[in-house]
Amino acid sequence: MATSTQAKPSTQILTYRDALQKSMIEEMDRNADVFLMGEDIGRYEGTFKVTKGLFPKYGHRRVLDTPITEAGFTGLAIGAAMAGLRPIVEMMTMSFSILALDQIVNHAAKIHYMTAGQFTVPMVIRGPGGAAKQLSAQHSHSLEGWFAHVPGLKVVAPATPADVYGMLKTAIRDDNPVIFNENPGLYGIKGEVPEDPEFTVPFGKAAVVREGTDVSLIGYSRMTHLNISAAEALEKDGISAEVVDVRSLLPLDTETIFASTRKTHRVVVVYEDWKFGGFGAEIAAKIGYDCFDDLDAPVARVGGLNVPMPYSRVLELQCIPSEADVVAAVHKILG
């Protein structure tokens, strides 16, 4: 008897960096209102080369090199968005977005509310956030938890080339301001990316990237890859770890997180941000309150040390979560 088979969607292997570039090119070709702005993104092609080749293709009217003035060009982008354009603002590092906090928090996030819906602010603020390699104390911040604290913003932190490709499209098409966090340690990783230019990944939906039964490892961005490595190490000890990639911080998919918790009854939340007050603490609090009766152990957290990031590579590695830290936390809650 003949059987029908559904054709697998066509994909290509791209780096995280190239997936970002592909997404922007397709969205700029799709919508003439989309444009880029930021420091050294044009002729220099960006510090991490994400905007390579875009200036020759689109010219200075759609790829704008800005002065070193984050508050200024972020404010300009907000005005452009209110007027109907769709700016993509690249922060050379998300650490520099601190200089534009007034524009982001007091204006971009609030204008739709304060004008009773008369204006929208469809803009994306994207760039590398988190530790890279010896970028020291002022260039290594993980600020996604700060922004996820602000009503009116959407905050995402994709971990894979496919997700960064699809989620950037979702961000550009969204009518709200989106903080798009890219960990600098991910730019070189490779993965399958759909060739469909209409492929998008919705916000507010986490992904179970590895099934398990004994413990849930919950994280986002680069920590998802760390959790997968830890799960593989734990498997050698006979421990089955489930890995949940949060992907979207605001909105947050608690349904998937809670379902994994109720399945395994033990949870370790892993995040690169400072452990004290970081976004992982919010995830842990929600699990502790809503899944209290499902837990067989307290929710464990693995986060960054509460110190300024050292320049020394040896000390830097001590400040950010490692596979060994995650494995140790799992063994502790398993008793």
The whole-angstrom distance between residue 71's C-alpha and the CA centroid of its chain comes to 22
Q: Write down all domains in the chain, each with its CATH number in brackets.
A: 11-194 (3.40.50.970), 207-334 (3.40.50.920)
Quick one: which of 155, 61, 42 has its CA closest to 108?
155
Read out DSSP for 106-162?
A: IIITTHHHHTTTS-----EEEEE-S--SS--TTS----HHHHHTSTT-EEE---SHH
Read out DSSP for 271-318?
A: EEEESTT-HHHHHHHHHHHHTGGG-SSPPEEEEE-SSPPPSSHHHHHH
Read out DSSP for 134-145?
A: S--TTS----HH
Largest CA distance in the chain: 67
Per-residue confidence in pLDDT tens, the chain, 335 aa: 444 456 667 999 999 999 999 999 999 999 999 999 999 999 999 889 999 999 999 999 999 999 999 999 999 999 999 999 999 999 999 999 999 999 999 999 999 999 999 999 999 999 999 998 888 889 999 999 999 999 999 999 999 999 999 999 999 999 999 999 999 999 999 999 999 999 999 999 999 999 999 999 999 999 999 999 999 999 999 999 999 999 999 999 999 999 999 999 999 999 999 999 999 999 999 999 999 999 999 999 999 999 999 999 999 999 999 999 999 999 999 98
> What's the CA gap between 79 and 68, in Å, rounded?
18
> What's the CA gap between 180 and 177, in Å, rounded?
10
Kindly report, residue by residue over 305-324, the tens digit of the pLDDT: 999 999 999 999 999 999 99
Supply the pTM of this predicted model: 0.94
Among this protein's residues, is 139 annotated catalytic? yes
Cβ atoms of residues 289 and 320 within 8 Å: no
Specify the length of the chain in residues.
Answer: 335
Say how many CA atoms lie within 13 Å of 57 toward its Cβ.
Answer: 15
> What's the CA gap between 250 and 132, in Å, rounded?
24
Catalytic one of 45, 70, 182, 282: 70
178-182/124-128 β-pairing: parallel
User: Whole-angstrom distance between the N-terminal and C-terminal Cα of the chain?
Assistant: 54
> What's the CA gap between 111 and 74, in Å, rounded?
14
Catalytic one of 139, 149, 235, 323: 139
